[in-house]
Amino acid sequence: MRYPTRFSETFKARRTGVRRALTLLELTFVVAVLGLFATMAVTRFGHDAIANTGARGFARKLALDMLQAQRRAISTGDNHYVQFVSSDGAIESSTLFRCGASGDTAVDSERTVPKHVTVTTSHMRCEYAFEGSALADYFVTVSGPDRSWQIQVTPATGNVRVTELP
């Protein structure tokens, strides 16, 4: 009978000595190591790699905006379009609009082009009809420092495809 009591007392004594948190010194060391790894990654890959990643992300966001314009046109029965705004020949931003009887209204907020990213487009307005088809064959090219992506919209179906250019 006495043996289980001793065992439980011994077990409790061990459990009370178990540490459950990091000390401030250990936490500082972990943060310093993570900072060192981050510094090494930026110097190894450089700012161009980070800018290329931003360009790829922006190309995907533009493709999603075009898909949203298509889906909103189908669901509301009104034409929707993505309007590009340029200044000095360079595209600066894009906005999603709805065509209405009382005039065009912005459906979504303006999306600005990030630094070190250039956008060229075949049309300043990519519009979708009420049944979801695109009104023209649209091409949008998003370029980073080293890589480029092209967004292509098929007129009959309104399908949006993003491809990396060689």
Is residue 150 a part of any domain in this protein?
A: yes
- Calpha distance 59→41 (Å, rounded): 24
Percent of the chain with pLDDT over 70: 87
Residues 148/142, Cβ–Cβ less than 8 Å: yes
What's the pTM value of the predicted model, to 2 decimals? 0.70
Is residue 72 a part of any domain in this protein?
A: yes
Is residue 138 a part of any domain in this protein?
A: yes
Is residue 136 a part of any domain in this protein?
A: yes
Total domains in the chain come to 1
Is residue 106 a part of any domain in this protein?
A: yes
Tokens 């889906």, located at residue = 71
Confidence at residue 73, expressed as pLDDT on a 0 to 100 scale:
94
Per-residue pLDDT tens over the stretch 120-141: 999 999 999 999 999 999 999 9
Question: Residue 115 has which token pair?
Answer: 């630094």
Tokens 């439980």, located at residue = 8
pLDDT-based confidence at residue 60 (cuts at 50, 70, 90):
very high
Is residue 26 a part of any domain in this protein?
A: no
Range of the domain at 81: 34-165
Residues 123/138, Cβ–Cβ less than 8 Å: yes
Average pLDDT of span 95-102: 92
* CATH classification of the domain holding 87: 3.55.40.10
